[in-house]
Amino acid sequence: MIESISAITLATHDMARAVRFYRMLGFEVIYGGHDAAFTSFRAGTSYLNLIAQPVERTWSWWGRVIFYHSDVDALHASVIAAGYRPDTAPRDAEWGERFFHLTDPDGHELSFAKPLR
Protein backbone atom coordinates (compact mmCIF):
# COMPACT_ATOMS: atom_id res chain seq x y z
CA MET A 1 0.00 0.00 0.00
CA ILE A 2 1.29 3.47 -0.88
CA GLU A 3 1.47 5.57 2.30
CA SER A 4 2.54 9.01 1.11
CA ILE A 5 4.58 11.02 -1.37
CA SER A 6 8.15 11.45 -0.20
CA ALA A 7 9.21 14.04 -2.76
CA ILE A 8 8.45 15.65 -6.09
CA THR A 9 11.41 16.56 -8.31
CA LEU A 10 11.09 19.32 -10.91
CA ALA A 11 13.62 20.17 -13.62
CA THR A 12 15.12 23.64 -14.02
CA HIS A 13 17.37 25.33 -16.54
CA ASP A 14 18.45 27.97 -13.99
CA MET A 15 18.96 26.71 -10.43
CA ALA A 16 19.65 30.15 -8.93
CA ARG A 17 16.43 31.60 -10.39
CA ALA A 18 14.41 28.56 -9.30
CA VAL A 19 15.82 28.64 -5.75
CA ARG A 20 14.98 32.36 -5.44
CA PHE A 21 11.43 31.66 -6.64
CA TYR A 22 10.76 28.78 -4.24
CA ARG A 23 12.34 30.61 -1.29
CA MET A 24 10.04 33.57 -2.08
CA LEU A 25 7.11 31.15 -1.70
CA GLY A 26 8.37 30.18 1.77
CA PHE A 27 10.06 26.86 1.02
CA GLU A 28 13.07 26.13 3.26
CA VAL A 29 16.26 24.93 1.53
CA ILE A 30 17.59 21.85 3.29
CA TYR A 31 20.16 20.74 0.72
CA GLY A 32 21.89 22.38 -2.23
CA GLY A 33 21.18 25.97 -3.21
CA HIS A 34 21.83 28.53 -5.94
CA ASP A 35 24.98 26.87 -7.34
CA ALA A 36 23.98 23.23 -6.86
CA ALA A 37 22.92 20.70 -9.48
CA PHE A 38 20.29 19.37 -7.05
CA THR A 39 18.37 21.29 -4.38
CA SER A 40 15.87 19.99 -1.85
CA PHE A 41 13.25 22.01 0.02
CA ARG A 42 11.07 20.99 2.95
CA ALA A 43 7.38 20.80 1.98
CA GLY A 44 5.59 19.89 5.21
CA THR A 45 6.57 16.29 5.91
CA SER A 46 7.63 15.79 2.27
CA TYR A 47 10.16 17.38 -0.06
CA LEU A 48 10.25 19.43 -3.23
CA ASN A 49 13.43 18.87 -5.22
CA LEU A 50 14.94 20.75 -8.14
CA ILE A 51 17.35 19.17 -10.58
CA ALA A 52 19.40 21.20 -13.05
CA GLN A 53 19.01 20.23 -16.70
CA PRO A 54 20.87 21.44 -19.80
CA VAL A 55 19.16 24.05 -21.97
CA GLU A 56 18.65 21.54 -24.81
CA ARG A 57 16.51 19.36 -22.51
CA THR A 58 12.90 20.46 -22.92
CA TRP A 59 9.65 19.41 -21.34
CA SER A 60 6.00 20.08 -22.00
CA TRP A 61 2.98 20.25 -19.74
CA TRP A 62 3.04 17.33 -17.33
CA GLY A 63 0.46 18.25 -14.70
CA ARG A 64 0.31 20.33 -11.54
CA VAL A 65 1.75 20.06 -8.02
CA ILE A 66 -0.72 21.02 -5.30
CA PHE A 67 0.53 22.28 -1.93
CA TYR A 68 -1.61 23.03 1.10
CA HIS A 69 -0.88 26.44 2.61
CA SER A 70 -2.31 28.00 5.76
CA ASP A 71 -3.23 31.33 4.08
CA VAL A 72 -3.53 31.25 0.28
CA ASP A 73 -4.71 34.88 0.12
CA ALA A 74 -1.63 36.17 1.98
CA LEU A 75 0.66 33.99 -0.15
CA HIS A 76 -1.03 35.27 -3.33
CA ALA A 77 -0.45 38.86 -2.17
CA SER A 78 3.22 38.17 -1.39
CA VAL A 79 3.72 36.55 -4.82
CA ILE A 80 2.34 39.69 -6.49
CA ALA A 81 4.45 41.94 -4.22
CA ALA A 82 7.54 39.98 -5.31
CA GLY A 83 6.75 40.83 -8.94
CA TYR A 84 5.27 37.53 -10.14
CA ARG A 85 1.92 37.11 -11.89
CA PRO A 86 -0.18 34.21 -10.60
CA ASP A 87 -2.28 32.39 -13.21
CA THR A 88 -5.45 32.84 -11.14
CA ALA A 89 -6.69 34.82 -8.17
CA PRO A 90 -7.62 32.91 -4.99
CA ARG A 91 -11.11 31.47 -5.19
CA ASP A 92 -13.35 28.98 -3.44
CA ALA A 93 -13.88 25.72 -5.33
CA GLU A 94 -16.94 23.52 -5.30
CA TRP A 95 -14.77 20.63 -4.01
CA GLY A 96 -14.16 22.50 -0.73
CA GLU A 97 -10.82 24.26 -1.11
CA ARG A 98 -9.68 27.86 -1.55
CA PHE A 99 -6.83 27.91 -4.09
CA PHE A 100 -4.84 29.76 -6.73
CA HIS A 101 -2.52 28.62 -9.53
CA LEU A 102 0.98 29.86 -10.27
CA THR A 103 3.49 28.81 -12.94
CA ASP A 104 7.15 28.71 -11.88
CA PRO A 105 9.91 30.23 -14.06
CA ASP A 106 10.52 26.84 -15.71
CA GLY A 107 6.85 26.35 -16.68
CA HIS A 108 5.83 23.96 -13.88
CA GLU A 109 2.27 24.51 -12.70
CA LEU A 110 1.76 24.90 -8.96
CA SER A 111 -1.42 25.23 -6.96
CA PHE A 112 -1.67 26.47 -3.39
CA ALA A 113 -4.82 25.43 -1.56
CA LYS A 114 -6.46 25.37 1.85
CA PRO A 115 -9.46 23.24 2.86
CA LEU A 116 -12.53 25.40 3.51
CA ARG A 117 -13.83 23.30 6.40
- pLDDT tens series, the chain, 117 aa: 767 789 999 999 999 999 999 999 999 999 999 999 999 999 999 999 999 999 999 888 788 999 999 999 999 999 999 999 999 999 999 999 999 999 999 999 999 999 998
On whether the 1-53 domain is CATH 3.10.180.10, my answer is yes
d(CA 110, CA 26): 14
CATH number assigned to the domain covering 64-117 = 3.10.180.10
Q: Is 63 left (phi over 0), alpha (psi -120 to 50) or beta?
A: left
pLDDT at 2: 66
How many CB atoms sit inside 10 A of residue 100's CB? Answer: 20
pLDDT at 79: 97
pLDDT at 73: 97
Pairing of strands 46-52, 7-12: parallel
Domain with CATH 3.10.180.10 in the chain: 1-53, 64-117
CA distances from 70 to 32, 86, 94, 114, 116 (A): 26, 18, 19, 6, 11
Q: Which amino acid is at 18?
A: A
In the chain, the DSSP E strands lie at 7-12, 28-31, 38-43, 46-52, 64-68, 91-92, 97-103, 109-115
Say which DSSP state 33 is in.
-
d(CA 53, CA 13): 5
